[in-house]
């Protein structure tokens, strides 16, 4: 089959690789109809290459049709249309029972001290072949594959694999008081959905992003937008009676704009040979923290900051004095997709499309064009906001 493979920092290519096969009786094989590129893939592309091997298949936002099932698969049949969450969980362990699927004790990666295995997400998370490919081996398929209806287009359901539940969790963790104000930093795909969810739940939403077309898209969904300027902190306070928003979702993560020094260090670590880069990355503060620090500065006293954006530094400097003095709550983590997806299905199936799933994808292209799309998405060229590949 054809698959998008990692070849080195900022180098990916479509290659012919062996078709996946059933390896465990709980597996299923799906043929992929749509598979998206995520902001998390950009971290692999740019910074975390030391943890991926040349030739590894990327991608963790797939959906498709079941073509084969293992002997123990009971809930699925060949021909079922399914969405696959990026997190692989068992559904019955101590953690899964508590809705913490990203910490699943069946698939947890104890050797690397990482949580549950993830598709296409480095040796830290189980080295699992990803979903930017023609076919995917779905593990623990009964629990993980979500069966969906046949009538609506892929784009309605596809984002249940990751960014829609991620944004939902981000807003839930932000603990916004009724009728309160939520600021969303970053209006990429995750920030778009987080801010729309905020509106849907009745909050005032302030969205911050340096990219004009991303602000324009958010504006279409009732979000007040602000450019990322030197004045943005003052503006966020001014428009909230001087206090700051009740809650802030950071939907930016480790590659935030506005940290030139850290950007250089991060780039340098990304370009080191793997054997040198790994210990540096495991011990040092490699994150660009402009967005996180803005979130901590902007949120009102006693408020909550919720991190959807991914961070990976081991010793990032944090403004403890302000965090402590302001009495902040901080929540974060990979999304427990399986916990939230059932409450999102009615929203994506609602004829009115209240979260605007059909107003996010800017580029839907064949898998062959994935390398070009990685660059476009990273550089935010050609108005690119979300890429969906069609294998």
Please, what is the minimum distance in Å from the beta carbon of residue 198 to ligand NAD? 15
Name the one range near ligand NAD by CB under 6 A: 6-14, 133-141, 204-212, 352-360. 204-212
Residue 6 CB-density burial (10 A; 0-12 exposed, 13-18 middle, 19+ buried): buried
Does position 258 bind ligand NAD by CB under 6 A?
A: yes
How far is residue 251's CA from residue 292's CA, in Å, rounded to a whole number?
Answer: 9
**CB 171 → ligand NAD: shortest distance, Å?**
12
Closest to ligand NAD by CB, 76 or 339: 339
Note whether 249 binds Zn ion by CB under 5 A.
Answer: no
CB neighbours of residue 322 within 10 Å: 13
Query: By rule CB under 5 A, what string of x and - marks binding of each residue 101-120 to Zn ion?
Result: ---x-x--------------
Specify burial of residue 258 (Cβ count, 10 A radius: 0-12, 13-18, 19+): middle
Residue nearest to Zn ion (CB): 38
Of 193 and 203, the one with the shorter C-beta distance to Zn ion is 193
Provide the mask over 34-53, with x wherever binding to ligand NAD is found by CB under 6 A and - wherever it is not.
----xxx-xx----------
> What does the alpha-carbon distance between residue 200 and residue 115 come to, in Å, rounded to a whole number?
31
Pick one of 3, 38, 182, 310: the residue that binds Zn ion (CB under 5 A). Answer: 38
By CB under 6 A, tell whether 291 contacts ligand NAD.
Answer: yes
- Tell me which residue has tokens 């206090």: 243
- Cβ atoms of 189 and 39 closer than 8 Å: yes
25 Rama sector, left if φ>0, alpha if ψ -120 to 50, beta otherwise: alpha
Binding-site size for ligand NAD (CB under 6 A) equals 34
Residue 93 binding partner per list Zn ion, ligand NAD, none, with a CB distance cut-off of 5 to 8 Å that depends on partner kind: Zn ion
Residue 58 interface partner, choices ligand NAD, Zn ion, none, CB cut-off 5-8 Å depending on type: none
Please tell me whether residue 93 binds Zn ion under the rule CB under 5 A: yes
Should residue 90 be labelled a site residue for Zn ion when binding is judged by CB under 5 A?
A: yes
Stretch that binds ligand NAD, among 73-81, 132-140, 179-187, 219-227 (CB under 6 A): 179-187
| Partner that binds at residue 292, options ligand NAD, Zn ion, none, CB closer than 5 to 8 Å by kind | none
Q: Which residues pair with 388 in a beta bridge?
A: 36, 364
Within residues 161-200, the interface with Zn ion by CB under 5 A covers 162
Q: Which residue ranges make up the site for Zn ion (CB under 5 A)?
A: 38, 40, 89-90, 93, 96, 104, 106, 162
Q: Which residue ranges make up the site for ligand NAD (CB under 6 A)?
A: 38-40, 42-43, 162-163, 166, 185-191, 208-211, 214, 228, 251-253, 256-258, 290-291, 308-310, 334-335
């Amino acid at each position: 089959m054809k698959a998008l493979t990692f070849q080195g920092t900022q180098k990916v290519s479509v290659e012919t690789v062996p078709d996946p096969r059933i390896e465990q009786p709980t597996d299923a094989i799906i043929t992929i109809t749509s598979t998206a590129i995520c902001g998390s893939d950009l971290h692999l592309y740019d910074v975390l290459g030391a943890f991926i091997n040349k030739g590894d298949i990327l991608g963790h936002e797939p959906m498709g049709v079941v073509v084969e099932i293992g002997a123990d698969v009971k809930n699925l049949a060949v021909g079922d249309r399914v969405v696959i969450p990026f997190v692989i969980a068992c559904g019955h362990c101590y953690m899964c029972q508590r809705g913490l699927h990203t910490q699943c004790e069946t698939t947890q990666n104890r050797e690397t001290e990482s949580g549950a295995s993830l598709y296409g997400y480095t040796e830290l998370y189980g080295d699992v072949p990803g979903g930017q490919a023609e076919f995917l081996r779905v593990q623990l398929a009964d629990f993980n594959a979500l069966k969906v209806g046949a009538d609506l287009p892929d784009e309605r359901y596809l984002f249940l694999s990751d960014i829609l539940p991620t944004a939902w969790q981000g807003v839930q963790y932000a603990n916004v008081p009724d009728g309160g104000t939520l600021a969303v930093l970053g209006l990429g795909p995750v920030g778009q959905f987080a801010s729309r969810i905020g509106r849907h739940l009745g909050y005032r939403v302030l969205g911050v992003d340096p990219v004009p077309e991303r602000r324009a898209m958010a504006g279409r969904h009732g979000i007040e937008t602000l450019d990322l300027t030197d004045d943005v902190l003052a503006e966020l306070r001014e428009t909230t009676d001087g206090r700051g928003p009740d809650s802030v979702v950071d939907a930016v993560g480790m590659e935030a704009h506005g940290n030139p020094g850290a950007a250089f260090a991060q780039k340098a670590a990304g370009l080191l040979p793997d054997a040198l880069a790994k210990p540096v990355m495991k011990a040092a503060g490699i994150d660009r923290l402009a967005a996180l620090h803005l979130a901590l500065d902007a949120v009102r006293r006693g408020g909550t900051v919720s991190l959807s954006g991914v961070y990976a530094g081991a010793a990032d400097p944090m403004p403890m004095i302000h965090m402590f003095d302001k009495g902040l709550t901080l929540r974060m983590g990979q999304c427990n997709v399986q916990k939230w997806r059932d409450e999102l299905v009615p929203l994506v199936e609602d004829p009115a499309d209240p979260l605007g799933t059909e107003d996010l994808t800017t580029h839907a292209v064949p898998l062959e064009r994935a390398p070009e799309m990685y660059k476009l998405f990273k550089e935010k060229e050609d108005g690119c906001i979300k890429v969906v590949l069609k294998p």
